[in-house]
A and B are shown apart, each in its own frame.
Chain A
Amino acid sequence: MNESTHKETIVFQARGITKVYDMGEVKVRALRGVDMDLYSGELIVLLGPSGSGKSTLLNILGGLDTATTGHVTYREQDITRALDKELTDYRRFHVGFVFQFYNLIPSLTALENVSVVTEIAKNPMDPAEALRLVGLGDRIDHFPAQLSGGEQQRVAIARAVAKNPAVLLCDEPTGALDSATGIIVLQVLERINRELGTATVLITHNADIADMADRVIYLSDGLISRVRRNEHKKSPSELHW
């Protein structure tokens, strides 16, 4: 599978995605008909204010949640109609997640947090190698509580990429970090996208980050309002906010 090097290969194709949350007395329409494509090797930023539906979209792409209507195909496989077991396998072998609050397992060391994923993957990296990739080669035996926020997020990234996923889905990966630390994390993501060719979707509400993307998709009120292609991607080190 070396499609990842060909930019024209479609990884995701989403058509007419809607999502309604039933909150008992109120129904919240988080997505109201979204179409989008993701090409291999591409880095996309989903930009929008909070409540615009970007996390919902990401979760549906990643098989963490299901769409109310519409279809998402991943490499020609319709994941909106997949069974729970198929979705699990999909997440297990193809998708890497990075969350805003890292979601590390506090009782495991950095290395073990990565191993948790590599142990069930098909063709993983060496966990220590993944940690070196994110610049944490010297902190592998630290527990989450002994790491700074930026370091924790890098462990989370190492954990996400260590299984050699086809796509990396990052939900506000810098949301809980100060800007200097955030930039370090973005550098890591950019490097992984460039060196490993992993298609990456990155959610943020921070417009400055959008400049590092190949394409920027603007979401508001559950709809895509605009798509912008960056002719000149900036490197994360050129960003500031």
Chain B
Amino acid sequence: MRTLNRKILRNLWGMKAQVIAIVMVIASGVATFIMSVSTMQSLKLTQATFYTECRFAEVFASLKRAPESLRSRIQEISGINHVETRVSAPLTIDIPDFSDPATGHIISIPDNGQPLLNSLYLRQGRLPEPYRENEIVIGESFAKAHNFKPGATVGAVINGRRKNLTIVGIALSPEHIYQMPPGAVFPDFERYGVMWMRRSPLGTAYDMDGAFNDVTLTLTPGAHINDVIDRIDKLLKPYGGLGAYGRKDQMSHRYLSEEFRQLEQMATIFPVIFLGVAAFLLNVVISRLINIQREEVAALKAFGYRNLDIGLHFVKLVLLIVLAGVLGGIAGGFWFGRWMSTIYMEFYRFPFLKYQLQPQVVVIATLVTATAAIIGTLHSVRKAALLPPAQAMRPESPPAFRVSLPERLGLKHLLSQPTRMIIRNIERKPVKSLLSITGIAFACAIMMVGSFQKDAVDYIVDVQFGLSQREDLSVTFVEPTSRRVLYELQRIEGIEYGEVFRTVPVRLRFGHRSYRTTIQGLESGGDLQRLLNTDLKPILLPSAGIVLTDHLGEMLGVHEGDRLRVEVLEGNQMEFSVPVAALIRQYIGVSAYMDLRALNRLMREGNAISGVYLAVDSRYLHEIFDRLKETPRIAGTEIREKAITNFYETMGETVLIFTFINTLLAGIIAFGVVYNSARIALSERSRELASLRVLGFTKGEISYILLGELSALTLAAIPLGFLVGKGMCAYIAETLKTDLFRIPLILEADTYAFAATVVLISACVSGMLVWRRLSQLDLIAVLKSKE
């Protein structure tokens, strides 16, 4: 068999351009797979390692105030391993040379050493000296945003008292991988910071001497988290407990999990599409390659080679191509994976990266690709081998052509002879033509998937910030406040208009399903916050009942008219039930909405508000910020423009990088499909075309016959590609739904145009390459050899 092996190498060399195109397609498919899966696994491993190293807590609870002695009673609850009580307080931060209002959260660490749970991973500096007042450690993302180094000082207002705090260390915490200001949907590293101070000084500053308002704990193996949470809620209720929750409801962890889940979906969908297209392409190419070699197959059989030998021969050839593709894909995937993981590590502020490429991943990628390729190969080899050699060696009898449909319809006189050849050829091999069209259509569809998400993101921003959230600023207070603050704020120059709102943390229950979210009480007829129906038309907030985001309604399984159970997770922790008045369309977050007065009534709290939405004159922004900084009890200020930037940054860093890489690889696939179709068409028809040249046809005329067919197939493939692409986008939009945001199926004209353009350019480049070969057709050889 050694000689046959040499034949393989020479065959490969003989069709190197095609081989390279296929190798690139396989490599793209494998690279996407390896990149996605390894990034996913590495992130999860990094997260798990970080959580373990820093002893991330499993249950969290906040409360108003409880004496430290309650700690031992919590410890007695069965199923609890470690308990740590803390003092945690909101604060406003005054950063030198930074005009925007910044807020934050300060959390106590024990007076000595590291916390028992959620320990800090110091990146720079040190922990505060034991019992030392005014020394803090700050979170790295906040420090980086302001270029803080240990030794810097910031001003802060804790509990209405201004303090100068010295930064002694910069750290990461498993609890605050994602740092979200209250009420925001996306992290804001510049305007929201988390910091840590020793327990005694913070307790003193916040009037929590000998008391705590926050507790975190870990469970013993086998403990039931829901039982523990129930017991804790009961224990903490008299102390203003706000409802304990597990990791899955912990803000940072939940958002991280949602992002990971989204990544995981993409890590599945894209590689499946890519590998599928690569396998399909390989099938088409290999079956045609074997078709071209049908006489060689017959000769080998005539010499006594067995079908198995011949099958193995082609399998080897295919496996070499696959091997090259897989190796390229592994290298590319490893490189892209490392690169992406590094970006994610930076984005999520993991202290280290555990990048790993598990051997199973490589094995799976190799097996899937090789299997797809071999199935295609065996099918074609079987077809070739089943022909009795005598028949295979005879030239194929002239294919049975017939007059094409357009001609039968009486259009014959409109069609030139070459055009008729094109049409008849396409019609004669409908399956082959259909396969080529499908291949090209998939390339087009993948391109659409690549750019669709960008359209969707733009659209989300338009809807969310253009139609729905129209305030320039929103200000949230530390605690529910009287409506009077609105009038105070409106006296500030530059603030033109304001609307109040109330935010109540709740658990919504319907049947056995429940969800932790917030109810936003809005003023009816408000102009700054508008709710949109499913047609994106503003609706009037009903005076009774609750309005849910459609995604939330779906998760709870409720419809208009159903009654929801509401458990308030603050203050008096009351429970009530309300009817669902409407479902609204919202792409970001999962809030519930109620008329402010109705909400206040149900809460039996007069006209308490949690914050205000403001429309301001942008010329006075600095002055407004300065005044807001002086206003005590502000927990957070969200600036609309910054929210948009943050949204783009979040999407940009994660989803869009992934998308960019996929678009790149999709381009390669588009080219691979089109180029291979063209090359195969050429090799199948070069004899016919050369004969026409001999008969006096010009180069232009024979090019028209070949390239005309290719153009017809490409043009037919593009609309089909649009359809397939839209289907894929719809599937992706559906699977990527998260609490964080939903991607609407929005495909702008430029997405279609971009996909079509890439396919057309690939077709033109392929056409040019093929055209060059057409002009080199050896006419003498055609005349001399048989057919």
Contacts and interface: CB of A to CB of B under 8 A. Distances in A.
A121 B2 CA distance: 14
A89 B305 CA distance: 8
B11 A99 contact: no
A146 to B, nearest CB: 14
Contact of B7 (A56, A91, A105, A121): A105
A227 interface: no
B303 A119 contact: no
A133 interface: no
B307 A84 contact: yes
B661 interface: no
A116 B303 contact: yes
Contacts of B391: 65
Nearest to B787: A101
Contacts of A55: 390
B296 A97 contact: no
Interface in A94-148: 95, 97, 99-101, 103, 105, 107-108, 112, 115-117, 119-121
Contact of B303 (A23, A59, A97, A101): A97
B304 A91 contact: yes
B393 A108 contact: no
A100 B302 CA distance: 14
Interface string B291-331: 00001101111111111010000000000000000000000
A108 B6 contact: yes
A105 B299 contact: yes
A54 B29 CA distance: 53
Nearest to A101: B786
B303 A120 contact: yes
A88 B305 contact: yes
Contacts of B390: 55-56, 59, 64-65
Given A66-B388, A107-B7, A119 B304 contact: no
B667 interface: no
B393 A92 contact: no
A97 B10 CA distance: 24
The bracket for how many chain B residues form the interface is 20 to 34
Interface in B385-415: 388-391, 393, 397
Given A103-B393, A107-B11, A108-B7, A62 B302 contact: yes
Interface in B1-33: 1-4, 6-7, 10-11, 14
Contacts of A232: none
B303 A92 contact: yes
B4 A116 contact: yes
A112 B786 CA distance: 23
Given A88-B301, A120-B303, A112 B388 contact: no
A101 B389 CA distance: 14
Given A105-B7, A107-B14, A115 B303 contact: no
A85 interface: yes
Contacts of A23: 397
Interface string A32-66: 00000000000000000000000110010010111
A66 B295 CA distance: 19
B6 A119 contact: no
Given A105-B7, A107-B14, A112-B3, A99 B393 contact: yes
A176 interface: yes
Interface in B634-663: none
Given A65-B390, A66-B388, A112-B3, A117 B14 contact: no
Contacts of A84: 307
A59 B306 CA distance: 17
A108 B3 contact: yes
Nearest to B395: A101
A99 B302 CA distance: 10
Nearest to B13: A107
Contacts of B785: 101
A236 to B, nearest CB: 24
A137 B558 CA distance: 88
A91 B388 contact: no
A65 B3 contact: no
A108 to B, nearest CB: 6
Nearest to A175: B786
Contacts of B303: 91-92, 97, 116-117, 120, 159
B2 A120 contact: no
Contacts of B786: 100-101, 176
- Among the interface residues B10, B296, B305, B389, which one has the most CB atoms of the partner chain A within 10 A? B389
Contacts of B306: 85, 88, 92
Contacts of A65: 388-391
A112 B6 contact: yes
A2 B738 CA distance: 84
A91 B302 contact: yes
Contacts of B388: 59, 64-66
A97 B389 CA distance: 12
Contacts of B10: 107-108
A56 B390 CA distance: 8
Interface string B467-496: 000000000000000000000000000000
Interface in A55-81: 55-56, 59, 62, 64-66
Nearest to A156: B299
A217 B491 CA distance: 120
- Among the interface residues A55, A85, A88, which one has the most CB atoms of the partner chain B within 10 A? A88
A147 B11 CA distance: 19
A119 B305 CA distance: 10
A229 B304 CA distance: 32
B393 A93 contact: no
Contacts of B4: 116
Contacts of A108: 3, 6-7, 10
A103 B295 CA distance: 7
Contact of B304 (A56, A66, A101, A120): A120
A94 to B, nearest CB: 9
- Among the interface residues B11, B301, B390, which one has the most CB atoms of the partner chain A within 10 A? B390
B564 to A, nearest CB: 71
Given A88-B306, A119-B1, 15 more contacts: A23-B397, A55-B390, A59-B388, A62-B302, A64-B388, A64-B393, A65-B390, A99-B393, A101-B786, A103-B298, A103-B393, A108-B3, A115-B2, A120-B1, A120-B305
30 contacts: A62-B302, A64-B302, A64-B388, A64-B390, A65-B388, A65-B391, A66-B388, A88-B301, A88-B307, A91-B301, A92-B303, A92-B304, A97-B302, A97-B303, A99-B299, A99-B302, A99-B393, A100-B786, A101-B785, A101-B786, A103-B296, A103-B299, A107-B7, A107-B14, A112-B7, A116-B7, A116-B303, A117-B303, A120-B1, A120-B303
Interface of B: 1-4, 6-7, 10-11, 14, 295-296, 298-307, 309, 388-391, 393, 397, 785-786
Q: Closest 6 CB pairs between A and B?
A: A92-B304, A107-B10, A59-B390, A64-B390, A91-B304, A65-B390
